Amino acid sequence: MNDSTLSIPGLPSTGNLINGAWLHDGPQFPVVDKFTGRRVAQVSQATREQVSEAVRVAQRAVDAGAPPPHERGQILHRAAQLLETHRQRLVDVMVAEAGFTLADAAGEIDRARITLALSAEEGVRLTGEMVPFAASPGAHGRLGFTLRFPIGVVCAITPFNSPLNTVLHKVAPAFAGGNAVVLKPSALTPLTSALLAEILLEAGMPPAFLAVVQGDGDTVGNWLLEEQAIAFYTFTGSTRVGRIIQKAAGLRRTQMELGSIASTIVCADADLDRAVPRIANAGLRKAGQVCTSVQRLYVESSLVDTLTERLVDYARTLKAGDPRDPATRVGPLISEEAAIRAEQWLQEAVAGGARLLCGGQRERAVISPAVLTDVPDDGRVWCQEAFAPLIAIRPFDDFDAMLASANDTPFGLSAGIFTQNVDRAMKAARTLRFGTVQINESSSARSDVMPFGGVKDSGFGKEGPAYSIREMTEERLVIFNP
């Protein structure tokens, strides 16, 4: 880390938020600019007592009752408007602490506004359903319906690679459903969450309904797992940590979005004008640090030379470097250590027989966009989640064998296929064991309205406001028996 400090205009609070007050009395940890390595801020880590107090305040808020649904919706709509008011502050913070390019930061804010608006809408139409008792002999006279109630205190543990929108996919539906939230953002990107908390309070969120506790998973994260008053954990991160959370949660409910090795398939009849830019952007944007980034790219043999040439040409146009340069399309990885790991994996692949067709050069935390082929089956760039700007190409002749290969990982978050053949598209949809199968789209396309989640070691439960709000509420059956 460069010991000099980088000044960021409009820096948010660097404390812990409990009941509307920012507390700064814990030990401090640094936040660094991911491109320059210079320190941006010193953030106070929550103490054990502050974690417990945050949960106690949240539980009291739930017990007292949330504002009515229309008021919660108004608060979330105001927050969406305030994101625009604070746009430049958000961009500056995300570019610094997450290494986002200007385009990625702008896209994160645009999507976050949609997530807030969707959550506001879902909160006012959260209803139960009628029960068809007429189907049961002797029960036809009964009237049954369900109601939904807040589940209680929701703990949101969020990742570095989407420090605004993924946070809102947890916080906004939780509050829309009447819950209080204790948020622990990634210690690598704590400032965006702090700024978001300031915005939510400005929008009118009751202070007791949102706490932000800063720190790493081994301390603050583990303390949160010890808090039995937490009713629901929503987590995005590694499968290893997901297992720890699930074990600690016991019978309490959870939603987990975990590891991934995303596959995209290109058949011989694919429209390359459509496919190539989507694949390149999906594999390389945010420096490949997206859980659905295209990592495995299967290409039908008759098309592989043409697609490879076009993909390499496209990747070479994506400038890597300073995220504050408007021309930059691939910024730094989250740390220099992460970039060194990616560089080593690429070097191992080449040593094992792979051909590096472009990119792979490292300068501090920046890796230039890499495209490989002939990657061995045991190469880490093929069989482990890379989380780096690289795409590994593999040709196929046998469609069924290729689908089996795509399924042959512990993970199952998202896959994509480009084809004009309806039979192949439907076979892929039915065969690929992924939470999402995209047809004529890459694995990494996402709309914030859709249900999003994985299977196998990629987790369970769904994000998307209409879906997560139901997971974060309890259903109660009411029966009238005249």
Question: The tokens of 237 are what?
Answer: 């991160």
Bridge pairing between strands 355-358 and 370-373: antiparallel
What is the spatial distance between Cα 47 and Cα 35, in angstroms, rounded to a whole number? Answer: 30
Q: Is 155 a catalytic residue?
A: no
CA 152, CA 64: separation in Å to the nearest integer? 11
Can you tell me whether residue 334 is helix, strand or coil? coil
Closest to 440 (Cα-Cα) out of 470, 473, 415: 415
- Residue labelled with tokens 């290893």: 240
Spatial separation of the C-alpha atoms in residues 352 and 344, rounded to whole Å? 12
Q: Which of 108, 122, 291, 300 is catalytic?
A: 291
3-state secondary structure at position 134: helix
122, 198, 227, 257: the catalytic one is 257
- 246 burial level (CB within 10 Å; 0-12, 13-18, 19+): middle
3-state secondary structure of 169: helix
Phi, psi of 368 (to 5 degrees): -70, 145
Closest of 188, 187, 184, 149 to residue 170, by C-alpha: 184
Q: Which residues are catalytic?
A: 257, 291
